Amino acid sequence: MLNDSSLTTPYLLLDKVKFRRNIRRLYDHIDSLHCQIRPHLKTLRTVQSAPWLLRDRASPATVSTLAEAEAFAAAGYRNILYAVGIAPDKLPRIAACLRLGAYVHLLLDSLTQAQAISAYGQQHQVAFSVFIEIDCDGHRGGIKPDDSALTDIGAYLQQNGMHVEGVLTHAGESYHCRTQDEIAQAARAECQAAIKAAKRLRAAGVTCPVVSVGSTPTAHAVRDLDGVTEVRAGVFSTFDLFMTNLGVCTADDIALSVVTTVIGQNAEKGWLFVDAGWMAMSRDRGTASQKTDYGYGLVCDSEGRSTGLLLSSTNQEHGIIAIPPDSGHQVTDFSLGTRLRILPNHACATAGMHTRYQVMDSQSGEHEVWHRVTGW
């Protein structure tokens, strides 16, 4: 009973039973490796998800916008990493969070940033807490663990009254792995890079209590976290078709879908029209480069059972389900008003198109509405 006909479509449905099960799976795994999780809250971006994602208000969390940092700080969360490289114009808002009593840690990877932070901090008597970003795979930002700039940055921050909380790396390239072995290898490389960087900083006299690694694929694949203090992951709570293609989950694990209604048919072309276009699904086509291309999403019936059909194309508020002749389905199977559920390519992108989520618990029958923190 996950559907509610009193809601007009499209709407985002979060299956709370699957959501809780996915979270439990990663916590069990990381607990067994004697490490802790710093969940990335960017997928759902709602304070209402926090009681399930975080053990308590002192638990480490990751965010990708200042708007999230502010919302979580205002709600009493105390250990928040803003995991996007810092620019000086954002420091006043970070300082305001610190005054609320929340540690909002910054991320940087250059001496220029360290100098800017230190200058602002000294001028305004704020001791910022900093993570230094380490590049483990050439994916995006960060400095190499053996780069001399690493210790220069750490020493500069510490000498100027800032706090080096830790090092952080993100195995973004694990999203392009083709096998479980490749993901496991990415997980090892991620840990090795972060541990090496932390050792070099400590040897140079820089405090560096935290060694932070993670991505959803590597967090599930990692088998040894010795020397690592925390693992970050984001999409693990909802999963999506991209993660299904990577072998990290099954389609049945996906907790997030868009409920849509059949609004028209073109029998000649074998097309169904639904009211979930890219405004409801997002423009994300991440599975296009993977082993199975799911178009704009996998079409399920109203109870979440896969039809095997795809949301083939989208306009702003229209989706087209092109029914292949050999699919065992035909247009007339889906009459006007039929409700369907579309599993997304990328949960972070699809959730980002919605300001509210309909959260249904099929065990308790409870229905909640969660509100997304919008903007930056």
* Site residues, a copy of itself (CB under 8 A): 5, 8-11, 42, 64-66, 84-90, 93, 109-110, 112-113, 116, 138, 140-141, 172, 261-266, 269, 273, 275, 278-280, 282-285, 315-318, 320, 335-337, 348-349, 352-356, 374-376
349, two tokens: 């992108």
Contact residues for 346 (Cβ-Cβ < 8 A; gap 6+): 235, 240, 241, 242, 282, 284, 286
Among all chains, which residue has been given the structure tokens 């210790």?
Answer: 151
CA distance 130 to 163: 6
Taking the least distance from each CB to a copy of itself, the nearer of 90 and 188 is 90
Taking the least distance from each CB to a copy of itself, the nearer of 87 and 100 is 87
Nearest distance, CB of residue 56 and a copy of itself, angstroms:
26
Nearest distance, CB of residue 356 and a copy of itself, angstroms:
7
Nearest distance, CB of residue 179 and a copy of itself, angstroms:
23
Taking the least distance from each CB to a copy of itself, the nearer of 129 and 260 is 260
Taking the least distance from each CB to a copy of itself, the nearer of 225 and 309 is 309
Phi and psi at residue 327, to the nearest 5°: -85, -10
Taking the least distance from each CB to a copy of itself, the nearer of 65 and 218 is 65
Taking alpha carbons only, the member of 356, 60, 374 closest to residue 233 is: 60
Helix ranges (H only) for 33-147 are 50-53, 66-74, 91-99, 111-124
- C-alpha 135, offset from chain centre: 19
77, two tokens: 């969360």
CA distance 307 to 61: 37
CA distance 127 to 252: 46
Taking the least distance from each CB to a copy of itself, the nearer of 8 and 364 is 8
What kind and span of H or E run contains 246? helix 241-246
